[in-house]
Amino acid sequence: MFKPISPRCLTAIVAAVLLMSLTTCGPRPQAVGDALRGTGGTNAVHQRAKPYLIMISIDGFRWDYMDLYPTPNMHRIAAHGSKAERVIPVFPTLTFPNHYSIATGLYPAHHGLVGNEFPDPVRDKWYSLSDRQSIEDRWFYSGEPVWVTAETQGMVAAAFFFVGTEVPIQGVYPTYWNSYDKSIPGQERVDQILAWLALPEERRPHMYTLYFEDVDDYSHWRGPDSQENIAAIARVDGYLGRLLRGLEKLQYGDQVNIILVSDHGQASYLEDPMTFMLDAHVNLKDTLIVEGGSYLFVHFYQDDPKRAQDMVEVVNRRWRHGRAYTAATAPGQWHIDSNPRFPDVILMPEPGFAVLSNEGKSRKISAGDHGWAPEAPAMHGFFVASGPNIKPGVSLGPVNNIDIYPLILSVLGLDAPRMMDGDPNKLTKLLHEPNHLQPE
């Protein structure tokens, strides 16, 4: 009746039992502090009758893809549940800040991941998605992600990838987690979720995260409307079909809520993106540059508001297809506040246009991208929810991704932490039984 665990996981589980060592598929040994603060792998008695929730992130899945390309399984989930017109990402519209905002209900200024890579001026260290050591360094992460909220309230959580799940945030991991490994096929990720769902009630996780990167990858490499991306969308939709088939075989499959969400959308560069080459206009001595083509951040070695102001003025006099901002003049809805991890100067091209620091870097521009301003429609993601706690047939307008965290707490009947930017009442119309969350 339950899906068999894949041979790869089975081998790893056997190895874990024999060697009592780390595996990529089973429960990880946790530090003493974790065992004290997390569940230690057993649900508290009062959590056992709660529903289940799988939050599935499809990286870079733009808000309109479901209407544009064949996605029968997503449509099936939506037909039984509810859908938002779109999801507004946080600034900057990159993977790490947005996943962690979805997980915590906080703006990047408050949760700390202000980019996929950034220098931290307090510790003089870099955070980068390509540097495992920094990704696993708890120092960079503030706020309380939903799996920590669950584990600290006696509810077992499991992750087949999600930004932050590989880090002992507040000393707590999800009971089950995996080091990010792009090469693990989607089917295997789904089968592991089903295997966790088949555990005995005391140990069966209630909160799951699942992540697929295929759509983001192909839309970068070949463009959002390329055949390759459409094929990636179909592939990911197929993973969801596999999950649905597995849930149907589960006696308690009808107790499982599903949230489909994406971190941002995706757009093509114009045929001529008229790349603004920053170093042709200003002196970049003693600065650190973080750039993706669709945005450029300048960090000064030393705080210098006058220099930032001058740089912004020069750029704005000369650039026709974008704008420069200091942290103080950036649009309020970007919520930069005063987090020193944000850059001194931000250069934001209009969607489709590009900015780079010098000619040599023009190679970096890919077919598709994100990173443009969160207000740009092409940067908007998608949101579908379905399951026993979700009212079917509700059509929401645009949703802010920080409001998803309080929705999950309501579904799982968890208490909210003190720090939360998300509005607990924004998505309650999705619930059969609105549960008005109040901070502790």
C-alpha 23/C-alpha 176 separation (Å) is 10
Question: Least Å distance between CB 60 and Zn ion?
Answer: 5
Q: Does 221 bind ligand AMP (CB under 6 A)?
A: no
Reading the block at residue 364, the tokens are 């970096």
Which window, 140-148, 210-218, 378-386, 404-412, contacts ligand AMP (CB under 6 A)?
210-218
Single out the segment in contact with Zn ion by CB under 5 A; choices: 84-92, 142-150, 215-223, 417-425: 215-223
Which residues in 316-335 contact ligand AMP (CB under 6 A)?
none
Q: Find the binding residues for Zn ion in span 73-102 (CB under 5 A).
A: 95
Q: In terms of CB distance, is 181 or 201 closer to ligand AMP?
A: 181
Binding mask 22-61 for ligand AMP (x = CB under 6 A): -------------------------------------x--
- Rounded to the nearest whole angstrom, what is the least distance from the CB of residue 38 to Zn ion in the complex? 28
Min. distance of Cβ 116 from ligand AMP in angstroms?
5
CB-based burial, 135-148: b 16+ in 10 Å, e otherwise: beeeebbbbbbbbb
Give the residue nearest to Zn ion (CB).
95
Could you say whether residue 213 binds ligand AMP (CB under 6 A)? yes
Q: Give me the phi and psi of 153, to 5 degrees please.
A: -105, 20
In angstroms, give the least distance from the CB of 255 to ligand AMP.
28
Q: Binding partner of residue 403 among Zn ion, ligand AMP, none, CB under 5 to 8 Å per kind? A: none
* Residue of 178, 195, 118, 105 lying closest to 146 (CA atoms): 105
Residue 296 CA: distances (Å) to CA of 75, 130, 135, 325, 349: 37, 18, 22, 11, 9
Q: Using the 8-state DSSP alphabet, how is residue 125 labeled?
A: E
* Binding footprint of ligand AMP, residue count (CB under 6 A): 13
Would you say 112 or 224 has its CB closer to Zn ion? 224
By CB under 5 A, residue 213 contacts Zn ion: no
- Smallest distance, Å, CB 82 to ligand AMP? 27
At 140, which helix (H) or strand (E)? none
Is 214 near ligand AMP (CB under 6 A)? no
Which 259-278 residues touch Zn ion, going by CB under 5 A?
263
Minimum CB distance to ligand AMP smaller for 163 or for 402:
163
Give every CB contact of residue 118 below 8 A, 6+ residues apart in sequence. Answer: 126, 127, 290, 297, 299, 341, 342, 343
Report what 120 binds from Zn ion, ligand AMP, none; CB cut-off 5-8 Å by kind: none
Return the one option of ligand AMP, Zn ion, none that residue 151 interacts with (CB less than 5 to 8 A, by type).
none
Closest CB to ligand AMP among 103 and 330?
103
Minimum Å gap between C-beta 162 and ligand AMP is: 7
Which residues inside 69-98 make contact with ligand AMP, applying CB under 6 A?
94-95
CB count in 10 Å sphere of residue 41: 16
Q: What is the DSSP letter of 242?
A: H
Q: Which residue in this structure is represented by tokens 């390759």? A: 228
d(CA 423, CA 308): 34
CA dihedral 277, 280, 284, 285 (to 10 degrees): 140
Q: Using CB under 6 A, which of 114, 150, 163, 172 touches ligand AMP? A: 163
Task: Quote the least distance from Cβ 239 to ligand AMP, whole Å.
Answer: 16
Under the binding rule (CB under 6 A), the answer on residue 217 touching ligand AMP is yes
Among 66, 135, 148, 402, binds ligand AMP (CB under 6 A): 135
For ligand AMP, which is the closer residue by CB, 96 or 383?
A: 96
Largest CA distance in the chain: 67
Give the shortest CB-128-to-ligand AMP separation in angstroms.
9
The verdict on 344 binding Zn ion (CB under 5 A) reads no
Measure the CA–CA gap between 216 and 96, rounded to whole angstroms: 13
What's CA 287's distance to the chain center, in Å?
29
SS3 275: coil
214-250 as b/e, with b when 16 or more CB fall inside 10 Å?
A: bbbbbbbebbbbbeebbebbebbbbbbebbbebbeeb
Q: Is the dihedral of CA 56, 16, 166, 379 positive or negative?
A: negative
CA dihedral 134, 135, 136, 137 (to 10 degrees): 40
CB of 211 or CB of 319, closer to Zn ion: 211
- Residues near Zn ion (CB under 5 A): 59-60, 95, 216, 263
- Report the interface residues with ligand AMP, using CB under 6 A: 59, 94-95, 116, 129, 135, 161, 163, 180, 182, 213, 216-217
